[in-house]
Amino acid sequence: MSDTLVIEKTDEKSGIKQLLAAAVEAGASDLHINVGMPPVLRINTELVLMKAEPVTAEQAADMLLTLIGAERFETFEKKRDLDFSTTLDDGHRFRVNAHYQKETIALSLRLIPNQVPDISQLHLPKIATELANLPRGLVLVTGHTGSGKSTTLASMIGLINNTSRKRIITLEDPVEYALENNMSMIEQREIGSDCPDFASGLKHALRQDPEVILVGEMRDLETTSATITAAETGHLVFSTLHTINASQTVERIIDIYPAGQQNQIRAMLSNTLQAVISQTLFKRIDKPGMVPAVEILLCNAAVRNCIRENRIHEIPNIIVTSRKYGMQEMDTSIAELFFKGLIGKDEAIDCAAHPARMEKYLMPENRTTFLKNQMAEIPAVNGTNSAS
């Protein structure tokens, strides 16, 4: 970590607001507060140490108290973890996790952009746009923390909102992007304040006449079961998992269930799952910012058979051989970003699923052939070769 910013001294109670304003000014995606060290920013994937005095235990407690007030602070002290959102006077919003570490309070705050990005600005494969137009089923966006899942989902919901007359209900912990009604009618429910948990919110959402449901995360058996049921009953459902690829995603969902129920959930999942978008973010080398590498799985007949018959290990090969239908493996996406001059060679190789193969793949003589193949026409997901 390197020093980059000087934060002038301020009184303890207003310090967190000043730190958040500095994070916005610096173009940071995250601010981390830990007792015993200065505040830390994450800027374009790198951690940057602020030039400020180390945070004391009293200051950390006052920062949290400033953000949530005395009543919620008491709840936090009992549960030892709390997720919420906060807004600065200038309108910038942050997703916040407060927790204890080494018996002291720590904060992780993520900046939520004010505007929902247009899906065309995210460097996602064109097929992602088609997935927002599906009439029903389950679409999952997966990846590690900070991989851009929430942004991708918000852009897909935004596309529906701007092009269709739908009733959309989101269940989030906490609410991130503030979505405004356009052609669609949107309700955003925050876990903990608007409803007690995801499973309860989903149960009641089915009685609220939605066509589209967004579930912030499939984090347990009850939520996963309710999410799949919602997709099975004719709704278009979006959700996330902290998995790195499509086959791991399918395995994770099945493994959540007891052994005696796994055959049943394979059958249900094979019928409801429409697509898995797995992504990871890379630091751009052409200009400041981030760009995603993306794996796309579309559930065609072959994929559905693999899920139903517990042949999950065959899914990666189906993705490789089904590019003409819109599927894409992660290594192909990484190579495309490199050949377009967006990311560096070393990072492309280091993050590849098969580094040795990737190193050969990125040889200069392969560039023309690779980019030519990437321009091949891909049919719409709801066309004759769709995931049906």
275-325: per-residue pLDDT in tens?
Answer: 999 999 999 999 988 999 999 999 999 999 999 999 999 999 999 999 999
Nearest to 320 by CA among 266, 269, 361, 350: 361
Res. 165 pLDDT band, cuts 50 70 90: very high
Alpha-carbon gap, residue 153 to 141, rounded angstroms: 7
Residue 38 DSSP one-character state: -
> 110 exposed, middle or buried (CB, 10 Å; 0-12, 13-18, 19+)?
buried
Token readout for 196 is 């007690």
- pLDDT tens digits for range 52-72: 999 999 999 999 999 999 999
Cα separation, 210 vs 318, in Å, equals 33
Rounded to an integer, the average pLDDT of 27-49 is: 94
> Which tokens belong to 386?
């769709």
Q: Please compute, for residue 31, the number of CA atoms within 13 A of its CA located in the half-sphere on the CB side.
A: 27
Furthest C-alpha separation in the chain: 64
- Residue whose token pair is 């309700």: 187
Residue 252 tokens, joined: 């994770």
Instruction: Report helix, strand or coil for 283.
Output: strand
Say which CATH topology domain 119-328 has. Rossmann fold (3.40.50)
Q: Are 274 and 138 in contact (CB under 8 A)?
A: yes
**Cα(217)–Cα(121) distance, rounded to whole angstroms?**
24
92-107: per-residue pLDDT in tens? 999 999 999 999 999 9
Q: What integer pLDDT is reported at residue 363 of this predicted model? A: 86
Sequence letter at residue 237: V
**Residue 176 CB contacts under 8 Å (≥ 6 apart), including other chains:** 85, 93, 95, 112, 150, 154
Task: Provide the mean pLDDT of the chain.
Answer: 90
Provide the H-helix boundaries in 80-177: 127-131, 149-163
- Report the amino acid identity of residue 93: R
Intervals of CATH 3.30.450.90 along the chain: 2-112
Q: Say if strands 212-215 and 167-172 run parallel, antiparallel, or are unpaired.
A: parallel
pLDDT at 12 over 70: no
| The domain over range 2-112 is classified in CATH as 3.30.450.90 | yes
Any idea what the Cα angle at residue 182 is, between residues 179 and 186, rounded to 5°?
50
DSSP string, 237-258: EEEEES-SSHHHHHHHHHHHS-
Q: Is the pLDDT of residue 81 over 70?
A: yes
Pair type for strands 40-43 and 46-51? antiparallel
Instruction: Tell me the average pLDDT across 342-365.
Output: 91
Residues of the chain with CATH 3.40.50.300: 119-328
Q: Are 141 and 296 in contact (CB under 8 A)?
A: no
Q: What is the DSSP letter of 80?
A: S
